[in-house]
Chain A
């Protein structure tokens, strides 16, 4: 199932606080995954995350969480929109997921590259997520059979 979530950033939160809020959202979405695993993966890409959030790249180009039947685009909102936004609810669909992937954008001109994200571990992939996945999820396919994180991980490294 496809979901979108929007995390209020500045001026509600500083950049590191926003990154923590994103990590907490992912942890909450993955109750079968040890939370520290998520926080360690996000810590390994803190500099890219800082860039993406601080420059408001993620306002338009999301991080994408892929786990079991869940495909969730995570955006940030800034300025007046952040002040008016509700805190995002936990995206459902990955209650039993033991494996997960986070697609992280690599925009032109970014001070990091795909290789920096690749070095962050098996749960982080240079983004964006394949559009076919998002489309299939929007069309209502059963993500549990549609998405195999390990196969996708191998495919995106080729």
Chain B
């Protein structure tokens, strides 16, 4: 008897993949910066990942952002932007790709600006049709004025969407 398997690639599977990689990239980035204790103490990673999946599933997540900042001056020290691009069903790409090594590599460029007591927060920007998820509140992103933008690339992609990675560093 032969078995026929149907591979179901949906926007949800792409969202699940990309969201998992974005959250993991944030962990790798923080760890490389020496902020592992802050990463471990943050109890909302599962919540963030589920939120990203939900919003990507409805095509509403426009970008996610990881801000690492100086708690005394409140200035951004390193800011990771993850803009999201969506593709229609006719897109030929059927693979799930990730380049998490990019997070570690880019973090090394931000080490000089880092401080041991640095803190971080996760921000998102969603389209107006995004489902409201309790736990998120309105805020304003930190300015990147005076920071240097470094090179970027695609850090995670699937058949229906991709996430890029752009890094801003204070020199």
Show the binding face of A for B, using Cβ within 8 Å.
9-16, 47, 50-51, 54-56, 78-80, 83-84, 109-112, 116
Contacts and interface: CB of A to CB of B under 8 A. Distances in A.
B17 interface: yes
A121 to B, nearest CB: 17
B50 A14 contact: yes
Interface residues of B, number: 34
Contacts of B39: 47, 111
B16 A14 contact: yes
Contacts of A111: 27, 30-31, 36, 39-40
Contacts of A51: 24, 27
B5 A84 contact: yes
B17 A11 contact: yes
Given A14-B53, A54-B23, A109 B31 contact: yes
State the main secondary structure of chain A at its contact with B.
loop
Interface in B1-59: 5, 7-9, 13-14, 16-17, 19-21, 23-24, 27-28, 30-32, 36, 39-40, 45-46, 49-50, 53
Contacts of A116: 40
Interface of B: 5, 7-9, 13-14, 16-17, 19-21, 23-24, 27-28, 30-32, 36, 39-40, 45-46, 49-50, 53, 94-98, 100, 104, 158
Contacts of A112: 36, 40
State the main secondary structure of chain B at its contact with A.
helix
B63 to A, nearest CB: 20
Given A56-B98, A111-B36, A116-B40, A79 B17 contact: yes
A80 B24 CA distance: 19
B17 A54 contact: no
Contact of A83 (B8, B27, B49, B98): B8
Given A11-B96, A84-B5, A54 B20 contact: yes
A80 B9 CA distance: 9
Contacts of A14: 16, 19-20, 46, 49-50, 53
